[in-house]
């Protein structure tokens, strides 16, 4: 079987590959409330009604299992957002499949930035509003690592045959794409330099 060069590079375990071109949302897909996501000065700006922006591009056919992911993020005071992984496109509502990694330094929700939402939550605030920081997610097998500016805040191993509550039944390691969350009209969050590295199965 012959693969094109671009395909080989995009699946090279040693390469960081961008998911966002800094100019458009052409490799992303959003359902309800699409106006929540715009591009400005090389950033994805998230501000508006509840919405989710799913990566739908060619990198690894937007289906990721083991990976490292990094994004630079800045929140304005009182803002809430998140990064989903192992998820799947939905037209509306909160994504049912996959895990959410929290983006929230000062919103009323007590689960702070870096939380593996509802699974292993972080109460301490490690990064500040109005300042850029790096959020890093690594999934390898059943292990999930989350770092903020290179500081580990979550190291979680999903139990074998894990059982979740009915409303969280799909919060499990599997495979899928990434999604960014637009939480509410009072939240404004900036994302840039979203990159991924594929890890071997």
In whole angstroms, give the CA distance from residue 61 to residue 10: 9
| Residues 6+ positions from 101 with CB-CB distance below 8 Å | 82, 83, 84, 85, 114, 115, 116, 117, 135, 137, 146
∠ CA(41), CA(59), CA(32), 5° rounding? 60
In whole angstroms, give the CA distance from residue 15 to residue 199: 10
Q: What is the mean pLDDT of residues 146-175?
A: 95
Q: What is the mean pLDDT of residues 134-150?
A: 98
Q: What is the mean pLDDT of residues 14-39?
A: 96
The pLDDT tens digits for 116-133 are 999 999 999 999 999 999
Q: What is the DSSP secondary-structure string of 39-64?
A: EETTEEEE-SSSEEEEE-SSGGGG-B
Q: What is the mean pLDDT of residues 78-96?
A: 97
pLDDT of res. 8 = 37
Instruction: Give the confidence band of 12 by pLDDT, cuts at 50, 70, 90.
Output: low
Enter the pTM of the model. 0.93
- Strand runs labelled E in the chain: 17-18, 28-30, 37-40, 43-46, 51-55, 67-75, 81-87, 99-103, 133-140, 143-148, 151-157, 177-182, 189-198
Burial (CB < 10 A; 0-12, 13-18, 19+), residue 110, is exposed
pLDDT of res. 13 = 59
pLDDT of res. 6 = 39
Q: What percent of the chain has pLDDT over 90?
A: 90
Instruction: Tell which residue, 87, 77, 71, 76, has the closest CA to residue 20.
Output: 71
pLDDT of res. 71 = 98
Q: What is the mean pLDDT of residues 162-190?
A: 95
Is 6 or 188 the better-scoring residue by pLDDT?
A: 188
Res. 136: pLDDT tops 90: yes
Res. 155: pLDDT tops 80: yes
């Amino acid at each position: 079987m012959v693969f094109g060069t671009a395909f080989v590079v995009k699946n090279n375990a040693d390469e960081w590959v961008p998911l966002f071109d800094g100019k458009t949302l052409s490799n992303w897909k959003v359902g309800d409330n699409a106006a929540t996501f715009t591009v400005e000065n090389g950033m994805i700006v998230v501000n508006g009604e509840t919405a989710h922006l799913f990566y739908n591009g060619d990198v690894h056919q937007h289906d990721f299992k083991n990976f490292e992911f990094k994004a630079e993020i800045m929140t304005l005071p009182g803002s809430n957002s998140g990064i989903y992984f192992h998820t799947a496109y939905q037209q509306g509502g909160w994504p049912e499949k996959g895990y959410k990694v929290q983006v929230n330094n000062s919103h009323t929700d007590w689960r702070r930035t870096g939380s593996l939402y509802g699974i292993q939550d972080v109460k301490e605030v490690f990064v500040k509003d109005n300042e850029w920081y790096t959020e890093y997610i690594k999934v390898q097998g059943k292990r999930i690592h989350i770092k903020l500016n290179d500081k580990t805040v979550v190291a979680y191993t999903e139990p074998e045959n894990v059982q979740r509550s009915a409303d969280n039944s799909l919060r499990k390691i599997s495979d899928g794409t990434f999604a960014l969350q637009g939480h509410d009209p009072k939240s404004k969050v900036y994302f840039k330099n979203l990159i991924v590295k594929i890890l071997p199965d």
